[in-house]
Chains A and B, each alone.
Chain A
Amino acid sequence: MLSIDNLIVNYAQVEAVRGVSIFVGTGEMVALIGANGAGKTTVLHSVMGLLKPKAGTITLKGENLVGRPSNRILDLGVALVPEGRQLFSHLTVQENLEVGYGRKFRMRFDRKGFQSRLEKIDGYFPRIGERLNQIAGTLSGGEQQMVAIARALMSDPDLLLLDEPSLGLSPLMMDTVIALLTRLHGEGMAILLIEQNARAALRISQRAYVLDSGRTTLDGEARPLLNDPRIQQAYLGL
């Protein structure tokens, strides 16, 4: 489904990503782990068209993504839940979801389509219905993360990219997020999950890549990686 090949991305002086190759199959859940500054966010931003790679290719279902604007990449079925949630905190929960659903430049809103999409995702987020009219900035951190995921799902993606969704969440809330991702994956969604919490990510993913200073240093099936001494030492604190 998503194929990243030999990606190289520079910021003015910094070589952030130096030849990364990542593959996510249809309906597959893949984890991308690595320390702070390893280049994880840069990879996701390149996929979303927010950064222009220096070299390498990114394709989705065989279509080239490099050079396309973000709105076109969403049209192709990719959505990103950005690091730090990035809700529109002065807007209501419903308005956040509406913006996620109706991203086209239109004067009329497809209210029916929105409602049916909302009903579809309602099952994933049991309490979101009661919160629709609340200002997003007044929700708790965990609730905000749920709205951020819900907002990304409004565009009905086939591939969901998540950038450290468990950051700053209580263990209980984190379990809720993990359960949600497992369920989405179970229903056929492809997921590329960035996590600093390597243990949780490796437990629910099928495969994983380890990123270090802009390079993939390890990759393979997720389960064996959990027991790999190099991972245990560096990322699991064992």
Chain B
Amino acid sequence: MAFNILLQQLLNGLTIGVGYALVAGGLAAIFGIMRIVNFAHGEFFMIAGYVLYYGMSVLGLPYFAAAALAIVAVVAFGYLIQRLTIEPLMETDPLNTLLATFALSLFMFHSVVVISGSGGRTIDTPFDGVITLGNVILTEQKLLVMVAGVIFLGLLAVFLSHTPVGKQMRATAENRYAATVLGIDVKRIDRFTFGLGIALAAVAGVLIAPLTPLVPSVGTAYTLKAFAVIVLGGMGSIPGAIIAGVGLGMVEALTAGYLSSAWKDGVAFLVLITVLLTRPNGLFGQGVAH
């Protein structure tokens, strides 16, 4: 019986953790390659959820079509933001991009509040069934999060290790100067990285938003969690962010299951502080160069 509870919590943790891994993986890529702190990262997750909601309820699109629309729309918006605000600020004081993304997060949050109100929106996907495995239950949507999440994370890993652009991204993350000297178009790598990072947040958004009523403040919550995850995983390390993201989801779920859900954020940050006290560069960090 106790084993079933454990298994149940681990499955819940894996679902949340895959979401964290997607959001934080994108944030880690953006930080690692562009060296900017994207305070608006979670807002892109949130906006994707809202585009999904309106795509289904107003446009009457089926779930997957609305999800695809949401991802495309959010990435297009993110790309525009990158070209119009972040790219021109990249050569200036790093504080400028930080302030710009902070302002952007406020803008995105309040725009959604104005358009949709701060109350919760429920998204009904076709995956509302429940799968029972012995005494363990799993909603179909959670299963979808895990399966799709793992597929997207796998694709990301293959992309980074096997394609020329993926290798250029890793090279640029490690040594931007050498990348420039070798003739890599680092500006283009930046644009692509930002778009990719936002796409991962949007994918997480359309998968996770249907699990709970969607509220505008979920964006900020995810930004904070994603920052905790990339600090935990080692700043800028994408594999680190993925492992730490899944790990954090597990810790939260176990805390919620065995202690109380009121404790889950507290325990999550306790783990973060403990790791940082023992490994200041995070679990997989090499520390930030220079």
Residues of A participating in the B interface, judged by any CB pair closer than 8 Å: 48, 50, 69-71, 73-75, 80, 82, 86-91, 95-96, 98-100, 102-109, 151-152, 155
Contacts and interface: CB of A to CB of B under 8 A. Distances in A.
A103 B184 contact: yes
Nearest to A99: B171
> Interface residues of A: mostly helix, strand, loop or mixed?
loop
Contacts of A100: 182
Nearest to A49: B180
A88 B165 CA distance: 15
A221 to B, nearest CB: 30
Nearest to B187: A69
> Interface residues of B: mostly helix, strand, loop or mixed?
helix
Given A90-B170, A104-B164, A105-B189, 9 more contacts: A75-B183, A86-B181, A88-B174, A89-B174, A91-B170, A103-B183, A105-B188, A107-B164, A109-B164
B157 to A, nearest CB: 15
Contacts of B165: 105-107
Given A98-B167, A106-B164, A88 B183 contact: no
Contact of A99 (B168, B177, B286): B168
Interface of B: 163-165, 167-168, 170-171, 174-175, 177-185, 188-189, 192, 286
A70 B164 contact: no
A105 B185 contact: yes
A102 B168 CA distance: 9
Contacts of B178: 82, 86-88
B164 A91 contact: no
A74 B175 contact: no
A87 to B, nearest CB: 7
Given A50-B180, A105-B165, A108-B164, A71 B185 contact: yes
23 contacts: A48-B181, A50-B181, A69-B185, A70-B180, A70-B181, A71-B183, A71-B185, A74-B182, A82-B177, A86-B181, A88-B175, A90-B174, A95-B171, A99-B168, A102-B164, A103-B168, A104-B185, A105-B165, A105-B192, A106-B165, A152-B182, A155-B182, A155-B183
